[in-house]
Amino acid sequence: MLQTIQKHRFLLEELVKRDFERKYKGSLFGTAWSVLNPLMTLFIMRVVFGHFFGSGIPHYTTYLFCGTVVFGFFSESTSEGLMALIGNAHIFTKVNIPKYLFLLSKNAQTLINFLLTLSVFFLFCALDGVAFSWRFLALLYPVVMLLLFNLGMGFILSALCVFYRDMQYLWGILTQFLMYLSAVFYSIDSFSPQIQNAFLLNPLYLFIRYFRKIVLDGVFPSAGFHALMAFDAFAILLIGIWMYRKFDTEFLYYV
């Protein structure tokens, strides 16, 4: 796959540029929306949930931002990736090129948006009085794992959307449901140990929890936590790659 990507590097770069231009075409603020959108989401959630859930959580704005920045990356990446095949059917049905390039371009675009938002996140940490340390370098691990997880989910969702067009409507509902199960705006500390362990079954909670452990608690998660996160990311990625390989030729008959 890496050799194929290198071979089609120019095409991939052009797809990323195209997706960027198409996403912000005609908008007043252009690419600034990649930062404005998560900030507006943070502000709304801070106003709505701050009074009910933030009183007992130190640095609640940063706590909330950890959740929104991670979940926002997942939500945007999977929502964009969902239509990667359907939206580019007019190209790969006429030209024989690897279909996963379209998904990679979507993920590259959302990754750039995420990195821009992450720079604003660190600024908010400073304004909120969060102490910076060398441990922040460890955030590279959940970012890479989340990128792989998003890519795997993109493979799965875009493949399913070819055969079941209802996925483009169902995924919005499922994403909303996942947000409430990921402790984005509340703490699970008051829950029973059994329920807290059940949250570990949600990969998104793992990514959010990792960010909070490093940024707010200043400690590294356990080795088991790292292993569980890696297992989730690679398991989903391998399932997605398998689906693309299995249905590669069938995609042409359904798009």
Give per-10-residue mean pLDDT for the chain (255 aa). 64 70 61 66 67 73 90 93 84 77 88 87 86 91 96 94 89 92 90 93 96 93 95 96 88 75
Whole-number pLDDT of residue 98: 79
Q: Are 93 and 166 in contact (CB under 8 A)?
A: no
Whole-number pLDDT of residue 55: 65
Q: Count of alpha carbons within 13 Å of 140, Cβ hemisphere only?
A: 4
Whole-number pLDDT of residue 95: 74
d(Cα 82, Cα 61) in Å, to the nearest integer? 31
Whole-number pLDDT of residue 211: 95
d(Cα 72, Cα 207) in Å, to the nearest integer? 12
